[in-house]
Amino acid sequence: MSIALPGRHRRLIYLAFAFLVLSGLVWLGGRYGLRSDPELPHPLEAWALKLHGAAAMLGLLALGSVLPQHVRFAWRARRNRTSGATMLSLAGILILTGYGLYYAADENLRPWISLAHWASGLVLPAGLIWHVAAGRRRKKPGS
Ligand code: HEM
Ligand code: HEM
């Protein structure tokens, strides 16, 4: 029964999250920084979204991969629940709002879904750093 994530698995999670955040940041840079005409998308935005779509697929795979062992066993053992639950909540918000960005038809709602999505996305790295640090701190010898 292993809660700790072996090197390759852990690296998959870091890679997927870094890819998600970086592609999101590039889109934000294009949308809010580089547009010369506020009505016209900067070419980087479309590229960033294509990369972000790929990152989202990898990210969902990475999230799914921690559920059956890591999350289930740690939850039962009551280890690192607060930061773990925060990670799961952030992931849930990102998935729901990501779905909303694809399919919400209401144009008045879209900017709010977008804001909720990328604001939670920007919090994700801090959440992960907190989660990993708390997990290491509380690690029992030999577990
Ligand atoms: C989105 C969901 C989650 C992700 C992506 C995630 C990811 C990670 C990562 C990358 C580590 C560092 C592993 C290492 O340094 O070896 C870690 C550690 C840890 N996580 Fe999670 N986690 C998630 C949810 C949870 C939940 C819900 C719990 C508890 C109920 C939890 C409990 C722990 C514990 C106890 C550790 C320390 C493991 C050890 O080294 O012994 N995690 N997590
Ligand atoms: C599990 C995690 C995530 C999933 C499933 C996800 C999914 C999505 C989806 C489906 C879209 C819409 C793409 C399109 O319209 O073509 C999107 C857009 C976006 N995502 Fe994510 N994302 C995740 C994490 C993140 C993170 C960590 C960031 C960090 C900043 C982020 C920032 C953005 C931005 C800035 C957009 C563009 C918003 C807009 O079009 O108004 N996402 N994401």
pLDDT in tens, 3-17: 999 999 999 999 999
- Confidence band, pLDDT 50/70/90 cuts, at residue 139: low
Pocket-testing residue among 70, 72, 87, 94, ligand 1, by greatest number of atoms within 8 A of Cβ? 70
User: Is the CB–ligand 2 distance for residue 20 below 6 Å?
Assistant: yes
Assess contact for 123 and 89: CB atoms under 8 A: no
Question: Which residue has its alpha carbon closest to ligand 1 atom 24?
Answer: 84
Q: Report pLDDT digits (tens) over 46-104.
A: 999 999 999 999 999 999 999 999 999 999 999 999 999 999 999 999 999 999 999 98
